[in-house]
Every structure is written in structure tokens, then in C-alpha cells.
Amino acid sequence: MAKITSDNVLEILGEQVKPGKSATINFNMAKLYTANSVDVPVIIERAKKPGPVVLLTAGIHGDEINGIEVVRQIISKGINKPQKGTIICIPVVNIFGFLNLSREFPDGRDLNRMFPGTKHGSLASRFAYQFVKKILPVANFCLDFHSGGASRFNAPQIRVKQADDLSVKYSHIFNAPFTMESKTITKSFRETCSKLGIPVLLYEGGKSKSSDKEIARHGVEGTMRILSHLEMLNPKFEYPDAVTQTVLIENSFWMRAKYSGLLHVKIPCGKHVEKGEFIGTITDPYGKFRHKVKASNTGYIINVNESPIVYQGDAIFHISLPQKENE
């Protein structure tokens, strides 16, 4: 089990990392069919001065490149070198899925539905178990980076559990454009952190199999704000002051396609729209049919289905609900 000893030595994955030192340790769980090892690099930076341990993870879903890019930039720019405490970066947790540009593990399971895992279960369950036992116990704070799946583009947002005052506090510090109150998913990494008493923020932005500069920028700048709040960010790094505060969304609604056909989105993700505003069209391929999609209510468009083709009933726009409709 990972731990920090009384003399401030980090013991993790069978190795020791002393204060002021750096290390990249390979977390090896299984091999490919060819017997080649598949290593998950765990990148550790430690300051001489004691402080919190912050764990940054991405790629729990192997096809969510935006999150991987956020952590990559944090490492590349040296933001992960703290002035106190320890920063552990794991840019690609699901290396199997990343190799195949797939959301799942090779056993077909979603790793983010397998935590805290079991010692003798499926491959994904075993990986989750070893991760929780050998890495997670040392963390004092977690940032987990994700993207939307199935061609659905998420506006940059932090997910927090309702009435979790600590997470809400940190979400305001991170200050993504949006903060969404959402229940923790059973057997997810976020739920496991919560049960272990480890504060965790889940950042969502963009869509799978895609890399977006603005999504990465919001993720990097938000992380810098968190590290600055924890007095871990090197003073040489600067980030822009927030022009506006994060928009808290307590409830939301998925608009669904009334017809099958070609979807043409007419507004950017993140836009505030009025009820009845024209936001897209659905057409047939033959130029005979055109249906106008109008906003179901006044609110923010926080997720857009960017698939060019939709079926009747498919979720196409995720829109926030006004406070008065929640009461």
C-alpha cells in the first residue's frame, strides 16, 4: 500500500521517492497476447517541503484524449513540479484502451464502473483493485479528467455531488465555465474517492477521439488555480484571473430528436439560449424534409451531439433547467 513515512519518504509501487526527487514508476498489471508488458507510467514530482499529495488522472476511458492532453501539458510545462508536497500524474490510466482508441478495457468492461475492484475478478476489476490499493491511499486530493462519449461534446465543466460543500468549494476555485451537480455513479473512481474521504473533482470537456485547445486550456488553468490554493504552484507560473464565475447547474434536461435524419447544429456548445430559440435542424438526405429544432426552455447548452446522423429519440442537446423549474 502506498504511504508517506514519518521521515517524508513516499513509498509507492514497491519503490521509495525521497523529498525533492522525481521518479517515473511503471505500474504493470497485465501483458498483451504477445507476452509484451503494458506499463502505465506514474510520474511523480516531490518538493523538499512537506505538503499535500495531489493525484492527477486521465484516460480512464482510453479514447478520451482531451483529458490526456490536459495532464500532458501540465507535465510538459513543469506545472507538476510543486513548491511543497507531491504531485502524481497518470496521463493514461487505461493504456489498453488508449492503444486501441477504445473506451473499454480489453475484457469489454468500462474501468470507471469497476472500482474499487476485486483481487480475482476480471482484468478491469483487478486493475481497479491494484490501483486503489497501491496508488490511491497516498492521495489527499484527486483531479480526474474526462471527455464526452459517443460524439457528444461537453462544455468544460466540473462535476460535483449535491450538498458536498467541500467539492463545491473546490469547484469554484477550479472555476471551469460550468459546475454541474450530479450523483456519483456506482463503482466509479469518483465514488470510490468519496467513500475513502478523498476530495475529488471530475472535469469533463470536449468529446472522445478528439483534441480541443480550449478544453485543454480550461483544464490546465483550473488545475493551476487548485495548486495555487493549496500553495503548491511554483510562483513562476501565472494564469489569467477569472473574468466570470463558474455557472452552477443543479438540474438539466436532454432534448431528443423527434425525427431520424441528418443533424445540423446551429449554436456553439456552452451558449445561453432562450425558450423557442432556433438551435439546429434535422433533414433527410434527399432534400425533401427539414425540421427546425428549438430550445425546450431557457438555459445553457452544456452538451451537443456532434454526430452528423441521428435516430428518432437520440439525445441531441443537453440544456440546463432554470432554478424556478426545479422548485
Cis peptide before 52 (omega within 30 of 0): no
Q: At what angle do helices 65-76 and 213-229 cross, to 10 degrees?
A: 50
Strand duo 152-160 + 86-90: pairing? unpaired
Nearest to 129 by CA among 17, 10, 1, 35: 1
Hunting for cell 439525445 — which residue is that?
315
The CB density around residue 251, as the number of other CB atoms within 10 Å, is 15
- Domains annotated on the chain, with CATH: 3-229 (3.40.630.10), 251-326 (2.40.50.100)
Report the alpha-carbon distance of residue 244 to residue 97 in Å, rounded.
36
Hunting for cell 521518479 — which residue is that?
23
Rounded alpha-carbon distances, angstroms, from residue 108 to 58, 65, 104, 148, 301: 19, 19, 6, 19, 32
Each of the 327 residues of the chain gets a pLDDT tens digit; together they read 899 999 999 999 999 999 999 999 999 878 888 888 889 999 999 999 999 999 999 999 999 999 999 999 999 999 999 999 999 999 999 999 999 999 999 999 999 999 999 999 999 999 999 999 999 999 999 999 999 998 999 999 999 998 889 999 999 999 999 999 999 999 999 999 999 999 999 999 999 999 999 999 999 999 999 999 999 999 999 988 777 899 999 999 999 999 999 999 999 999 999 999 999 999 999 999 999 999 999 999 999 999 999 999 999 999 999 875 444
Decide: 219 and 205 in contact? Cβ < 8 Å: yes
